[in-house]
Amino acid sequence: MEKLKIEVENYELSREEVKLKQKEIDVQVEEKHKLYKKKKELLGEIEKLEGQDMNVLETEVEAYQTELDALKTRWNDYESKITDEINNTKTKLMDMKVEYGYKNDKIK
């Protein structure tokens, strides 16, 4: 009888230990589930922001490209004006050279 009581107590202790371990496992599973859920939400947030960042970067690149094109146009206008002025001055100098050469020939 005594042996039976001890076995019953041991069985009940074993049962309690199993219940405690099961509770611990349930708590760990719940914590991991919460952690998984948070990580999944963060991943979704990161993917969303990544898409927004690309849109922002593409918009900035387009703005810079437009500005660069405008600057190139201004530079080409500026460069063509300078080239025209240089060519006009060269032409004037050539004309003056011819004119002074003609006058010099007359004087001699």
Predicted local distance difference test score (pLDDT) of residue 87: 95
Residue 42 lies in a domain: yes
Residue 90 lies in a domain: no
- Closest by alpha carbon to 99, among 85, 91, 84, 83? 91
Number of domains in the chain: 1
For residue 34, the number of C-alpha atoms closer than 13 Å in the C-beta half-sphere is 6
Residue range 14-33, pLDDT digits in tens: 778 878 889 999 999 999 99
Q: What is the extent of the structural domain holding 38?
A: 1-78
Predicted local distance difference test score (pLDDT) of residue 14: 77
Residue 85 lies in a domain: no
Question: How far is residue 73's CA from residue 67's CA, in Å, rounded to a whole number?
Answer: 10
Residue 83 lies in a domain: no
Residue 87 lies in a domain: no
Residue 103 lies in a domain: no
Residue 69 lies in a domain: yes
pLDDT beneath 70, residues of the chain: 3-11, 13, 108
Residue 98 lies in a domain: no
